Amino acid sequence: MRNRIKLIDHIQIQKNHIRTLKKELTVFEDVSLEVTDLEIEIELVPFQDINPKTDYEIVTEELILKDLETVEKTKNVKVNKVKTQEDKKRQEVLEKLYQGLNKGKKARDILLSSELEIVRDLCLLTAKEEIKVFNVGERDERLKERTSKRNRLIICAKMEEDLAGFSEEERQEYLQTAQIKETGLEKFIRVAYEKLNLISFLTAGVIEVRAWTITKGIKAPQAAAVIHTDFEKKFIKVKICNYNDFIDFGGWKKCAEKGKVRFEGKDYEMMKNDVVEFMIGN
C-alpha cells in the first residue's frame, strides 16, 4: 500500500561549468517539483569546500539561464505573428518574463499565477515549485523538525541509508531513541504532496491495497478516472470508509457492521486517505 514519487537526479553543477549543461537540464521540463540537495555538514565531505548558499546560487543561475534561452527563442519567433488579443497578451507576458529573467529573477517570482498559465506550455524550470533539502550530520538537532521552513527540509543521508536496512521494528526503535517522528523520506514525501497540492485515496480489494494520487479538491468521478478513464462517464456512486476505521475494524465487512461505511454521489470531494470502492455502470 505504498504510493510513489519519481525522483530524477541531475549531475553536479559546478561554477566553472556554467552554461555547459543546457542539454542535461531539459530532463526537468516535465517534472512538477524541483529539489535541490545541499550539504551543510562539513564532516560529511571533508575534502570539499562546502558552501550551501553558493551551491544553491549556482543551480538557480543555471535554471534561470535555461529559461531565458527558452523565452528569448519563443519571443523572437512569435513577434511577427501577433494577431489576436490572446497573442498580444502572451507577447506582453513573454516580454515581462524576459526582462525579469535578465535581472536574475525566477519565473514564479516575476509572473502572477494567471500569467504563468499563459506560458505553461514553455515548461519553465523556475516556474516550478521548489524544496531545498539540507543534508546534515546524525547529531544535528534540526533533524527533529517536522515542519518545513521556507521550503526547507533537514535530513541526514547517512541515517536514511541505515534505516533502509532496518526491519520495521528496528526502524521504529531507532527513531524513538533519536526523538525523531518521521524519517527524511517520509518528511520529503509529505512536504512534496503539500507543495503540489496532492492527496492519496486508497482502493482495498481481496488481492491488493493500492494508493492513487489525485489533486486535492477533485470530485469522485474524476478520481475514479485515475483508475480507468471509462469510470468517470460510467460513475454511479462511491462507497467510502475512513482509513483509520478500515484498519481498526479490519476491512469492509466489519466497518459496515459498525456503521463506518457511507455512500456518496458525483458531487463528493475526495478526502485524504479515503478508502473507496467505486460503483460503475455498464
Model pTM?
0.71
What pLDDT sits at residue 9?
56
What pLDDT sits at residue 18?
46
C-alpha grid cell, residue 247: 484498519
The two domains 15-129 and 197-280 share their CATH topology (first three levels equal): no
What pLDDT sits at residue 47?
39
Q: Is there a contact between 250 and 205 (Cβ–Cβ < 8 Å)?
A: no
Q: Is there a contact between 7 and 102 (Cβ–Cβ < 8 Å)?
A: no
246 Cβ contact list (under 8 Å, min separation 6): 204, 252, 255, 260, 275
What pLDDT sits at residue 55?
79
Q: CATH assignment of 15-129, given 3.40.630.30, 1.10.10.10, 2.60.40.10, 1.10.150.300?
A: 1.10.150.300
What sections of the chain are H helices per DSSP? 22-25, 52-78, 85-102, 107-110, 113-118, 157-164, 168-178, 184-195, 220-227, 230-233, 243-249, 252-257
Q: Which residues of the chain have pLDDT under 50?
A: 1-3, 15-20, 39-47
**Distance between CA 55 and CA 135 in Å, rounded?**
13
Within 13 A of 95's CA, how many CA atoms are on the CB side? 8
What pLDDT sits at residue 150?
61
What pLDDT sits at residue 43?
38
Q: What CATH class does 197-280 carry?
A: alpha beta
The domain segmentation of the chain, as residue ranges, is: 15-129, 136-193, 197-280
Encode pLDDT of 78-100 as tens digits: 556 667 888 889 999 999 999 99
What pLDDT sits at residue 242?
95
* Three-state secondary-structure class, residue 258: coil
